[in-house]
Chain A
Amino acid sequence: MIRYLISRIMHALAIVAFAALVSFALLQLAPGDAVTQSVDQPGRSSAAQVAMRERLGLNRSVPQQMLTYFSGVARGDLGVSFTEQRPVRSVLADALPATMILSGAGLVLACLLGIGIGTAQGWRPANRVAATLGTSLTLLYTLPEVVVGVALMAIFGLAWTVLPVGGMTDPIVELTGNVGAQLVDRLRHLVLPSFALALVWSAAIARQQRAAIREVASATFVRTAHAKGLSASHVLRRHVMRSALPGTVAVIGTMLPALAGGTVIVESLFAWPGMGSLLVRSVALRDAPLVAGAVIVMATVIAIGTLISDALVGWLDPRTRAEVVE
C-alpha cells in the first residue's frame, strides 16, 4: 500500500508541476506585463517603466524568471493580480470555498444518482423505471452543461418560481441574522447549479456501475451466496457492491477535471461567486497572473481529489496495489 501511495503521490506532484509550467508559459505569452497592465498608474514614464521592470525582475532571462516563479509557487506566492491590486493568493482564497461547496454538492449528487440508478439497472435489468432513468441520464451526458443549466433555470426558476436562479445567498435573508433561515436560503441557492453539474456527470458513473454490477452478478461467488440462502439485498450489499465499487470510484476520479471544467460554465450561468466565474472574468479583463494562479489552484485541487480516489481504489481493491509492486 505504501509503495502504491508513493507512486500516486508522485503522479499528483507531476500534475501540479505541469500546471505550474503551463501557468508560467501563460504569463510569458499573454499580452502585456505587470508594468503595462497595472491600472493604478496608467501614465508612467518610460524611465519609470524600466526601473519598475528591474525591481520586479522582468528584465531577467526567461529561465531565471521561471526559477523565481516556481520557487514562489512552491511557497504559495502566485504574484499580484493586475486588476485587483492584491496578491493572487488572497483573491483565489476568497473564491475557493464557494467552488468547493458547489462542486462538492454536484459530485455527491452525481454519485448518488449515478451509483443508485446504475446499481438498480444492473441488478434488476427488467425494471422499466430504472431503465428509463438510465437512458435519460445517457441522453443528458452528451449535452452541453450550459443547455442543461438554462433548461433547469427556465423550468424551476422562471416558469415555476420555486428556486432562486442566481448567486449564493439572498442579501435580505442574510441581513435578518436568522441562522436557520440563512442555511435554508443557501441550500435553496445550491439546488439548481449543483443539479446542472450532477445531471450531466452522473451518466458516466451510472454506465460504469451498471456494467460492473452486471459482470459481478454472474460471478460464481454471487451464485454461491444466493445458494447459501442469503437475502438478495444482503448479497447486493456485502458481495456484489464490494466488487463493483472500486471501478466506479476510479471512474469518478478520472472525471474530476471535467467536473471542474463544468463548474466554470455553471458558475457563470448561475452567478455563483467561485473560481469559475473568477477565471472567466479575469480572462475577459486580461489579468494573466490571476488566470495562471487559478490554473495552478484548480490543478492542485484536482490532483488531491485524484489522489484521494486512487487511495480509495487501492484500499477497496487489493489487486491495484499489487500491480505497482510487480
Chain B
Amino acid sequence: MTAPVQRRRAVSTLTLVACTVAAMVAVASVLAPWLAPHDPAAQLDVVTLKNAAPSWSHPLGTDPFSRDMLSRALFGARTSLTIGIVGAGLAAVIALAWGVLAGFVRRPIGDRMMSVVDAFRAVPRKVVLLAAVLVVPHASAMVLAVLLGVTSWTALSQVICVQVRSVRSRDFVRAAQAIGATPMRVMFRHIGPQLIGSMTAASALLLADMLAVEAGLSFLGLGVRPPHASWGTMLQDGVPYLASAWWIAATPCVLLVLTVLSIARIADAVHASGATTAPVP
C-alpha cells in the first residue's frame, strides 16, 4: 500500500509573517541613522515634550527625557540586535567547541567536561551576569555582548555532546574509522555536517534568548548605559510611567514580543523542515 502523495507548501503563512517581521527589524536597525527623525539621545524639550503622547511629529510619542521614541526604537533595535547576534554567535561557538570535544574524547574525560557544565548551570545565569557587571562596571555594548555569550553556552553544549556521542556510534562513522580516517577527518567530514541542522535552530533560539536577557538586564539599569537606546533601557524609562504614559513601555514591549516570537517561529520552521540536515556520506 502506498501512501497518498501530498503537496506540502514549502513555507507556512505564519513562518512567512515571522520572516517579514524579522527582516523588517533587521532592515530598520541597519538603516536606523537614515530612518530616525531625531538623534536618539537628544533631549528635545524637557518642559513641553516630557512623556508626550503619540502625534504626527512624534509617531510613538516621547519619553520622560523628551527624547523621540521612534528614533530610540530604531537605534534600540540596532543595539539590542547587535548584542543579541554577537552574544548568540559567541555562545554557539563556545558550545560547539566544548560539546564536540566532550562528545569526541574518551568517555571519562568527556563526562568530567560535562559535569563542569552541570556546575555552571546550577548557578542562575542572571545572577552570574549581575556579578560580572559588578566586576566590569560601565561595560560597553560589546563587552555586555561578550558577557552574555560567555554565560549562555552551557545548555547547548550538553545537547551537542549527546548528539555527537549518538552520531559517533553510527555505522558510517565506524566505517570511516575502520578505513583509517584520522580523528580530525571524522570530526569535520562525518560528524560536523550532522550537527548543522540543530545548530541553526539552536542559534536562532539563542538570539531570541539573548534579546530577552538584554532586556531584563538593561531594565534593571545594569545593562546598556544611558543615554544609549536599547529595548531594555526603553523599558526601564517607561515602566515608572506605566499609569500615566503607557505608550513609552508599550513600544519596547511590542517590539520585543514581535521579534522574539518571529525568531522562535523561524527556528521551529528550520528545525521542522530538516532542510539543513546533511545526508549521510
Show the binding face of A for B, using Cβ within 8 Å: 11, 14-15, 18-19, 22, 26, 29-31, 139, 142-147, 150-151, 153-154, 158, 254, 257-258, 260-262, 264-265, 268-269, 279-280, 283-284, 286, 288, 291-292, 294-295, 298-299, 302-303, 306
Contact = CB atoms under 8 A, between A and B. Distances in A.
Given A258-B124, A268-B220, A142 B130 contact: no
Nearest to B253: A147
Interface string B53-85: 000000000000000000000000000000000
Nearest to A279: B130
Contact of A22 (B131, B243, B246): B131
A193 to B, nearest CB: 14
B128 A22 contact: yes
B222 A154 contact: no
Interface of B: 115, 118-128, 130-131, 133-135, 137, 205, 208-209, 211-213, 215-216, 219-222, 232, 235, 239, 242-243, 246, 249-250, 253, 256-257, 260-261, 264
Contacts of A14: 115, 119
A299 B122 contact: yes
A144 B220 contact: no
B122 A144 contact: no
A145 B216 contact: yes
Nearest to A158: B243
Given A139-B261, A142-B260, A158-B243, A291 B123 contact: no
A291 B134 contact: yes
Contacts of A150: 235, 239, 242, 249, 253
7 contacts: A31-B137, A144-B256, A146-B235, A147-B215, A158-B246, A288-B134, A292-B131
B131 A295 contact: yes
Given A15-B119, A150-B253, A268-B220, A260 B124 contact: yes
A22 B130 CA distance: 12
A261 B209 CA distance: 13
Contacts of B220: 264-265, 268, 280
Contacts of B209: 142
Nearest to B135: A29
A18 B209 CA distance: 25
B134 A30 contact: yes
A302 B130 contact: no
Contacts of A143: 212, 256-257, 260-261
A146 B130 contact: no
Nearest to B130: A283
Contacts of A144: 211-213, 215-216, 256, 260
B272 to A, nearest CB: 14
A14 B134 CA distance: 24
B34 to A, nearest CB: 28
Contacts of A264: 124, 126-127, 130, 216, 220
B133 A283 contact: yes
Give the secondary structure class of B's interface. Answer: helix
B122 A306 contact: yes
Contacts of B130: 264, 279-280, 283, 291
B88 to A, nearest CB: 14
Contacts of B125: 257-258, 261
Given A143-B212, A154-B246, A269-B239, A283 B124 contact: no
Contacts of A142: 205, 208-209, 212, 260-261, 264
B122 A302 contact: yes
Contacts of B242: 150, 153-154, 158
Nearest to A258: B124
Contacts of B264: 142
With a 10 A CB-CB cut-off, give which of A31, A150, A158 has the most chain B CB atoms: A150
Nearest to B238: A150
A283 B131 contact: yes
Contacts of A15: 119, 122-123
Given A144-B260, A146-B215, A298-B127, A283 B122 contact: no
A259 to B, nearest CB: 8
Given A22-B123, A150-B253, A286 B216 contact: no
A262 B133 CA distance: 17
Nearest to A145: B216
Contacts of B211: 144
Nearest to B252: A147
B117 to A, nearest CB: 11
B123 A265 contact: no
**4 nearest interchain CB pairs?**
A261-B126, A261-B124, A144-B212, A15-B122
A30 B135 contact: yes
B126 A283 contact: no
A161 B124 CA distance: 33
B113 to A, nearest CB: 14
B239 A260 contact: no
Given A280-B130, A284-B222, A298 B249 contact: no
B222 A280 contact: yes
A27 to B, nearest CB: 10
A302 B128 CA distance: 14
